[in-house]
Amino acid sequence: MSTPHPDFQVYTLLVTPLVEVRDVVCAGTCRHKGEIERAGRTHLVFPYRGTYVRHVGHDDAVADASQVLFFNAGEDYQVSHPNAGGDASLSMALDPTLLRELAPPALLADGEPLRFGQTRLRIDPRAQVLVALLRHSLREGIAEPLEGESLALTLVHRALAPRTTHAAGSSQGRQRLVDRAKLVLARDLARRWTLAEVAAEVGVSAVYLTQSFRQVEGVPLYRYQLRLRLARALDLLRDYDDLAALGVELGFSSHSHFTAAFQKMYGRTPSEFRQIALHR
């Protein structure tokens, strides 16, 4: 079911007493901060296509496929879209009692309603695969409610488990610098950026950018770009019969390069993943 809106579409994929899963696709027409919004209940939001910036007070978080964002109940926020092309996210709301059982106490704020104490966490490649599997299987009508719930809970557990996450760290200045670099890379996933080009775009030295990015994100710049490309591949696999063309579109030098990178990251080739996600 789709809910119409001037700027975005909300597709309800699953509603049970414990879990609600929605696919939110935004046109991204608002370059500057939009109207103030407020979540009625706490949501875990997994961006899987494009980028946007979520503004909460003085905290600005670039939303991309490498992380989960926490939209806390009763918390005001605004959204802007520095990059053209729109974005899409998988939004999930869980029964609060269930979410408290899944979430490590250190991640939660004190009191009621249930809220997270930070705005985002980095997720690992396995969590990215679970996002794609959950979305594809629900959109295609392959997964029954029980399976959908199980996949959703597995994803939440994976995303919140301390061993699989990396919280954004370091100073606010370095965080803002890294966020600018992330927006530069996301602007054109297929472009073969050089370090000097990215550093020039954000106005710092290549050495400082390299050190800052690794400190804040926990991965080097090139690795982050690769993860963005492969996450986009997870999103687009259902739409491409020619996987070689998909690899070229995402900036890989050849089909074999694309396949090898995908398999190394996710443990399956692109064709194997498509078979599992769409033809079970």
pLDDT of res. 142: 83
**Whether 145 and 14 share a structural domain:** yes
**Whether 139 and 234 share a structural domain:** no
Q: CB under 8 Å to 42, separation ≥6 — which residues?
A: 70, 71, 72, 73, 93, 96, 99, 113, 114, 115, 116
Final residue of a structural domain among 122, 139, 164: 164
pLDDT of res. 183: 94
Final residue of a structural domain among 134, 164, 194: 164
Give the global pTM: 0.84
pLDDT of res. 172: 83
Q: Is 57 left (phi over 0), alpha (psi -120 to 50) or beta?
A: left
C-alpha angle 280/151/234, rounded to 5°? 65
- In DSSP terms, which residues pair with 76 in a beta bridge? 38
CATH number, residue 155: 2.60.120.10
pLDDT of res. 2: 45
Three-state secondary-structure class, residue 81: coil
C-alpha–C-alpha distance, residues 137 and 157, integer Å: 19
**Whether 128 and 7 share a structural domain:** yes
**Whether 144 and 50 share a structural domain:** yes
C-alpha–C-alpha distance, residues 62 and 81, integer Å: 10
Q: Report CA-CA distances (Å) from 279 to 12, 138, 242.
A: 21, 12, 17
**Whether 143 and 182 share a structural domain:** no
Q: How many domains does the chain have?
A: 2
pLDDT of res. 30: 78
**Whether 193 and 216 share a structural domain:** yes
Q: Identify whether the C-beta of residue 98 lies closer than 8 Å to the C-beta of residue 20.
A: no
C-alpha–C-alpha distance, residues 243 and 257, integer Å: 12
Closest CA to 276 of 185, 151, 162: 151
pLDDT of res. 1: 47
Domain around 201? 172-278
pLDDT of res. 241: 86
Q: Which mean pLDDT values do the consecutive 10-residue runs of the chain (280 residues) have?
A: 65 95 90 87 96 91 94 94 92 94 93 92 92 92 89 94 62 90 92 91 93 90 92 91 92 93 94 78
